[in-house]
Structure 1
Amino acid sequence: MPTTTVRTIGARISKWGEGPIWWNNSLLYVDIEGHAIIQLNPETEEETIWNIGERIGTVVPTECGSLLYAGDTGIIRFDPQTGNKAPLGDPEAELRSTNRFNDGKCDPAGRFWAGSISLVKDPGTAKLYCLEANGELSVKIPEVTNSNGLCWSADATRFYYIDTPTKQVRCYDYDETSGNISNAVIAIDTQALGFKDSPDGMTIDSEGMLWIAFCHGGCVARFNPATGELLHKVDLPCVETTACAFGGPQLDRLFVTTGIHKSIDEADAGKVFVIDGLGVTGLPAFAYKG
């Protein structure tokens, strides 16, 4: 790998930044515990902030110009111009005291996939859901504990997924037409590779390699899902590295969200970091088609 540089970008200090996605020449991400959606222009470092009033696990764009987020009250369509909110589904309303939505993304066909997390770490009580363009909501993976990073291969034949406590990345066969996933295998075992901390958000580059942010681990790392090997690791001066996404005009900059540790005082905790000089590019994000 070529020489890389790591620096912070933007003024926002999030309590728990998450879910970065590059869209329309800007970075969208959420502050889960700060109850906000943030849009960051990396060229000017100007930030637009929408205070939502609830914890938000993830946000994605829609083809009609609105935003879709998954939060405490379920999946919501949000109009950033008017602030109007339209609920689209709340599959875990009865678990609101113990569960919330966590990471999510849109697949190549424009479906919105979002998973939940058991905040009390009750094994198997969370799920990965999928919202079709027609509004139909289904369960894709039941009995998980902390639904986290997810992404699809460039040829739309494989789906990669992290249930954080397993410390593994599972690879599924993926059918773009139906949205079905099958034949799960372990692609990467981060614990076996010496990582003691928690695999969190994940993205994929144009060479098919996976980039994972390690919560409590202060790093992002690149892995080959075909062989399971570690290829590269970049350390950051902030222990709570939560998620990553490629962005910039050439999709060659890796943006990393972070959170604030409960007991460690770090100058840049909660900031967005940008890593330049990695020598690889990412893949474009997808919008919700509903």
Structure 2
Amino acid sequence: MKAEAVSKTLSKWGEGPLWFDGRVYYVDIEGHRIRSYDPSSGEEGAWEVGERVGFAIPREGGGFIMGGDNGLAFFDPETGEKTAIVDPEPDKKPDNRFNDGKCDPMGRLWAGTISTLKNKGAAALYRLDTELELTEQFPNVTNSNGLSWTKNGETFYYIDTPSKTVRAFDYDPKSGSISNERVAIDTIDLEGSPDGMTIDENDHVWIAFCRGGCVRCFNPATGEILETVELPISGVTSCAFGGDELGTLYITTGSFGNPEEPAAGHLFAVRPGVRGLPTVAFAG
């Protein structure tokens, strides 16, 4: 199965796609932008945010919650105004920044940091409650990346990229607590490193493999590879379901500056024959 480029815009390092209100929203980390793509019209939009931005998620009341170089903030796309929330790692600048983030079924934010110098264990995964209280949930991380919850909200999957595994946790949707950590998927023998992740209606996870040129679908109950989506570039970063009945898999990519990969940085899409789950907006 092969994905095709759909955006006209090239990102320096596209990441964090999600589907909301008829559009794909994603970020260009190194381009300091939140981007949008409307598949019905082909219209594309962008907002400059003034820092490397790892994720941007819609809020129930409008605008975005974002994470980047300077911690967590609200962003108003109408005015361009940022309102700081919290930075949990001010002593680790300029190395650490927020990377991937996603909201749980109750609208809490889960987001992790990355050590861009690859200092082992120097980053962490955090939870921001709807009252804007931030707590560390999983320490000793190096490159916090993909996150997903099963359809019933009772299992949480998580990627710390250098581990080359997908961890699974029991999840309590009411309290937002994780327990019973185990390895669900081991990718040590596969080309590329697991990056961003999404989940489909069958609770199968779709994982972008950076430097692997593909997205692979796994059954986390068995670790088996069920499907592979190929792209003509190595910098495959993340994916999310969207479009009609959530039946299109949108894939973000980044450029390593290889002249043999002119499509690197485009948003790609493919119809894999399954549907995803709706994006949850931040409830705070």
Q: TM-score over 0.5 for the alignment?
A: yes
Offset of residue 37 of structure 1: 0.2
Q: In the aligned structure 1, how far is the partner of 2:229 from the partner of 2:35? A: 25
**Letter of the 1:283 counterpart:** L
Decide whether the 8 Å contact of 1:10 with 1:42 is kept in 2.
no
1:37-87 Cα deviation digits (max 9, x unpaired): 001101111111001110000110100011010011110101111112111
Shift of 1:11: 1.1
Deviation, structure 1 residue 249: 2.3
Determine the C-alpha separation between the residues in 1 that align with 2:270 and 2:120: 35
Q: Secondary structure at the match of 1:250?
A: helix
1:102-122 C-alpha deviation (Å, 9 max, x unpaired): 001011010111100111111
What does residue range 112-261 of structure 1 map to in structure 2 within 5 Å?
A: 112-191=109-188, 194-261=189-256
Structure 1, unaligned runs of 5 or more: none
C-alpha separation in 1, matches of 2:120 and 2:283: 33
- Supply the distance in 2 between the matched residues of 1:97 and 1:48 (Cα, whole angstroms): 29
SS of 1:160's equivalent? strand
Using the alignment, how far apart are the partners of 1:104 and 1:223 within structure 2? 21
8 A Cα contact 2:2 2:229, kept in partner? no
- Partner SS state of residue 91, structure 2: helix
Q: 1:266 aligns with which of 257, 261, 281?
A: 261
Deviations 1:193-249 (A, max 9, x none): x31311000000000100000001100000000011111111100110000000002
- 1:19 deviation in Å? 0.1
RMSD value over aligned CA atoms? 0.9
Tell me, yes or no, if structure 1 residue 111 matches structure 2 residue 108: yes
The number of residues matched between the two structures is 284
Is contact 1:114–1:129 with CA below 8 Å preserved after alignment? Answer: yes
TM-score by length of 1: 0.96
- Residue type matched to 2:63 in 1? S
Q: Is the 8 A contact 1:22 1:247 kept in 2?
A: yes
The residue aligned with 2:11 is 14
Displacement over 2 Å in runs of 4+ = 262-265
Quote the Cα distance in structure 1 between the aligned partners of 2:80 and 2:12: 22
| C-alpha contact 1:26 1:40 (8 A) present in aligned 2 | yes
SS at match of 2:245: coil
Structure 2, unmatched stretches of 5+, are none
| 2:69–2:94 contact (8 Å) kept in structure 1 | no
Alignment correspondent of 2:280:
286
Tell me how far 1:5 sits from its aligned partner: 5.1
Counterpart for residue 97 of structure 1: 94
